[in-house]
Amino acid sequence: MWLAILVIVIASVAAFDVTVTNHWNGGFQGKFTITPDHALHGWRAHIICDRALDAVEIWKATVVETKNDGKEYVVENMPWDGEISERNSLEIEFVGRMSGDSAPSCTVTVDGVGGGGSNHQNNPSPTQHTGSAGGGSPIQPGTSVVGGSAMKYDYAKALGLSILFYDAQRSGRLPANNPIPWRGDSAVNDGDAGHDLSGGWYDAGDHVKFNLPMAASTHFLLLSFIKFQDAYKQAGQTNMMCDMIKWPLDYFLKCWIPESQTYYVQVGDGGADHSFWGRPENMNMNRPAFKVTASNPGSDVAGDTASAFAAGYIVFKTICGDIPYANKLLEAAKSIYEFAKNHQKIYSQSVPQANAFYGSSGFKDELSLAAAWLYKATNQDNYLSDAKQFHEAGVPWSLSWDNKNIIATLLLYEITQDGSYKNDVMGFIRSYKPGGGITYTPCGLAYRDQWGANRYAGNAAFVAVLAAADGIEASDYLTWAMSQINYILGDNKYHISYEIGFGSHYPEHPHHRGSSCPTTTTQCNAGDPGPNPNVLKGALVGGPDNQDNYDDRRGDYVKNEVACDYNAGFQGALAGEF
């Protein structure tokens, strides 16, 4: 009796084809759309293929059962997408893993729905590899999946490690509470004509101090601290973060001389610096300082620093509890912003020594962002007017040290609730998700560029968690962001954490001079095949190529470089996920 009823129900369910959007050797990406003829309050779908799959990875559902020797996967809705009203649609993407390089033919049935789905077939692109985080079931908050088995990732630990990386990058005379045992005082005589320029962060594995990426990293980190301060508190990292983030702010205050309208933007010559492989404590080369002035300005680097000062004002007033210091930062933010606004020029045109390393493409994004931050700090309408005037609408290629336009867009949306800003934010994240045009590695990393692949994915994930915090597509964006962070922390074909010190398997040969040199010698060799003697805890290495291949080799600075800006968005995304 029960069997007969079951047969009747299944017979009444319409089947429709899965649209294959991409395939590669070992997997394919497909999608289907549920368009019910009546309201659904929870749903169950059957993905049935003409040959067995090793695994199905799906974001908007969870795999509850596998049948017919792997040819059928039963999936159920996630808690946030079970409600589908009559004639509305829900598009669902998934990745199937199997042997071979041709996609199977698959159909979908939805229990209790007599039709309604996609039945067209697209031509797959042979060049775009897409996927989700490497595993076999959906990623839930606080967990990731490697090889089909659930594994808990400790985001709080990853966050604390990232803070330690910035402490390892400190230049100058280190404080008594220095948490990095293999670091000591260095470059304590940095300066120009008697003006003290010691302090700040070394940029990457080298020892130049570049203020444009340093300021960008600083206000990314401050933004994450403001938006996700509860996460820092839950991780037990509030005091460490206050201590860490004050270091670059103190340095920027040294660099900015409002009386003479002078801002020092670089210390160290890139060419001379890169010819030395050794610890910063052992440097003895000349370290020239470069500046922008009213007659030779730099609106981008000055604007970025204004953002760091204004965001720092909010942090030290509301979180770190140092009102006098906060007020000092606010006054500096106002004055350096006026300098940036009144003397408009790209800084790397004024300081050509920066051009080969951090040449800037423009300054409107920095001016818009600085004005938005100052409006948040002061509530003065003239800053909001400036932020709107300098803002450039549209979807940028990425979030990076050079282009901060998407953060300006987010802040303007928070301030105004204008739908045009929201649309650009959604367009940016859509461009990074599968089907949005970006290449994905087979294991699921959104691959924007070979230089700092993990950095770009982490930055995009940071934008996604910020948007989610602002109420934009929260569940979907958090799930996608988590797929990128979990890839970085281990959901990849090597099961390696690209954050050094996290887990038991991580890079041992980062392209970083201080980490690679023993503290007991004044000389070391970049070609030494052994692991770095000093563990650069928390550093995010550049990452894999577009096929998930990675070499833990110090000489491969494309895959194994580290940098202050590599960690900034990644750390913000970690904070936004718990």
Sign of the four-CA dihedral 56, 21, 60, 550: positive
**Angle (CA) 515 509 513, round 5°:** 30
384 is written with which tokens? 């909001």
* Structure tokens, 556: 């491969």
CA distance 163 to 166: 5
What H or E segment, with its residue span, contains residue 227?
A: helix 211-227
The values of phi and psi at residue 67, to 5°, are: -130, 170
> Tokens at residue 222, please?
């401050």
Q: What is the DSSP letter of 454?
A: H
Q: With left for phi above 0 and alpha for psi between -120 and 50, is residue 547 left, alpha or beta?
A: alpha
Nearest to 47 by CA among 8, 6, 18, 89: 18
Structural Rg of the chain based on CA atoms:
25
State the Cα torsion 114-118-121-127 to the nearest 10°: -140
Question: In this structure, what are the phi and psi dihedrals at residue 283, rounded to the nearest 5 degrees?
Answer: -65, 145
- Give phi and psi for 415, each to the nearest 5: -75, -45
The CA distance from 200 to 138, in Å, is: 41
Which alpha helices (DSSP H) does 395-531 contain, by range? Answer: 405-416, 419-432, 453-469, 474-489, 513-516
**Minimal CA–CA distance to 535: which of 497, 571, 508, 504?**
508
Can 552 be counted among the known catalytic residues?
A: yes
> Kind and range of the H or E element at 160?
helix 155-168
DSSP H/E element including 568: helix 564-576
φ, ψ of residue 348 to 5 degrees: the values are -75, -5
Given 206, 561, 565, 577, which residue is catalytic?
A: 561
484 and 573 Cβ atoms separated by less than 8 Å:
yes
- For residue 356, the tally of other CB atoms under 10 A from its CB is 10
Cβ–Cβ under 8 Å, residues 212 and 358: yes
Inter-axis angle of helices 474-489 and 564-576, nearest 10: 130
Q: Which residues are catalytic?
A: 552, 561
